[in-house]
Amino acid sequence: MAPGFVEKIADALHLHHHDHHHEPPKESKSSPVFDSNKVTVVFVLGGPGAGKGTQCARLVQDFNFCHLSAGDLLRAEQDREGSTYGDLIKTCIREGTIVPMEVTIKLLEVAMLDARKDKTGLGWQDGKARFLIDGFPRKMDQALKFEEDLVQVCVSSLTIFFTTTEEVMLKRLLVRSETSGRADDNVESIKKRFNTYKEQTMPVIEHYQKQGKVSEIDSSPSVEEVHAQASEVVNKIFAGQSAPQLTA
């Protein structure tokens, strides 16, 4: 990557006002921003409309996670007045393609640093930060870059993978389209999103599966049934993780 590229992205995203100058410059540092002993990262993946966001909302209530949806962060940036990347994000979302990883990772980094500041709030338990990262990583380059720059994905980290059929996902998304106002909740965009999911995201899931870090859950049943399964999986992650670690 060209030197200074990440800083240029940060400038364009107007992220320097967050006063993160205590953090080492991204391109010269050799270790990730977060210590994997002091944060728990659970990724949530699955096809468009599989129910990721719905289940994340439940898991936040159960486990006091800080929930970060990459799609929501991108939509907020797209709508931010004066955003350099607004048009690019808009096109990617409508076309169901993946926004260049530097943009998404920078947005995630800032959101994670902001969440980490509030040690008494949501996302803190037993002195550890708990992040539920929804709809990310969507592509292998993002998965590797996240590990390199933000958190070394450690033994206890896990991906919850919600699966159901395209037929179910399509039906759910078309129902959602009646109220969501999302530019990509239409048949044409949904088909493109299914293709991107199969071509780009499935290899990420297979990568984590090879490392034994994926819990697959059938998300075809009711929200409550799926939630019961997901809770069980997360309970296992936190079993044995109660030792207080007060700094991050």
Per residue, the 3-state secondary structure of 224-242, as one string, reads: HHHHHHHHHHHHHHHCCCC
CA–CA separation, 82 and 99 (whole Å): 18
* 82-121 footprint of ligand ATP as x/- string (CB under 6 A): ----------------------------------------
* Polymer length in residues for the chain: 248
Which residues between 191 and 210 bind ligand LLZGTKA7 (CB under 6 A)?
A: 193
Spell out the residues 6+ positions from residue 192 whose beta carbon is closer than 8 angstroms to its own: 95, 96, 97
Q: Which of 46, 96, 123, 137 binds ligand ATP (CB under 6 A)?
A: 46
Nearest CA among 201, 241, 15 for reference residue 114: 15
CB atoms within 10 A of CB 155: 9
8 A C-beta contact, residue 50 and residue 170:
no
Residue 172 marked as a ligand binder: no
123 forms part of the interface with ligand ATP (CB under 6 A): no
HSE value, Cβ hemisphere, 13 Å, CA-based, for 200: 21
135 forms part of the interface with ligand ATP (CB under 6 A): yes
CA–CA separation, 237 and 216 (whole Å): 14
Kindly state the tokens that stand for 119: 């040690």
Q: Which of 13, 39, 45, 51 binds ligand ATP (CB under 6 A)?
A: 51
Q: How far is the CB of 90 from ligand LLZGTKA7 (least distance, A)?
A: 10
Segment interacting with ligand LLZGTKA7, rule: CB under 6 A, options 4-12, 91-99, 119-127, 220-228: 91-99
8 A C-beta contact, residue 161 and residue 45:
yes
Which residues between 130 and 159 bind ligand LLZGTKA7 (CB under 6 A)?
A: 135-136, 138, 142
- Cis ω before 137 (30° cut-off from 0): yes
Residue given tokens 């239409």 in the structure block? 186
Q: Which of 78, 104, 159, 219 binds ligand ATP (CB under 6 A)?
A: 219
8 A C-beta contact, residue 149 and residue 109:
yes
Q: Which of 113, 217, 226, 234 binds ligand ATP (CB under 6 A)?
A: 226
Q: How far is the CB of 148 from ligand LLZGTKA7 (least distance, A)?
A: 16
Residue type, 58: R
70 forms part of the interface with ligand LLZGTKA7 (CB under 6 A): yes
Residue 98 marked as a ligand binder: yes
Q: Which does 187 bind (CB under 5 to 8 A by kind): ligand LLZGTKA7, ligand ATP, none?
A: none
* 93-132 footprint of ligand LLZGTKA7 as x/- string (CB under 6 A): x--xxxx----x----------------------------
How far is Cα of residue 59 from the mean position of the Cα atoms in its chain?
14
**Contact footprint for ligand LLZGTKA7 (CB under 6 A):** 48, 70-71, 74, 92-93, 96-99, 104, 135-136, 138, 142, 184, 193
* Known binding-site residue numbers for ATP: 49-54, 176, 221
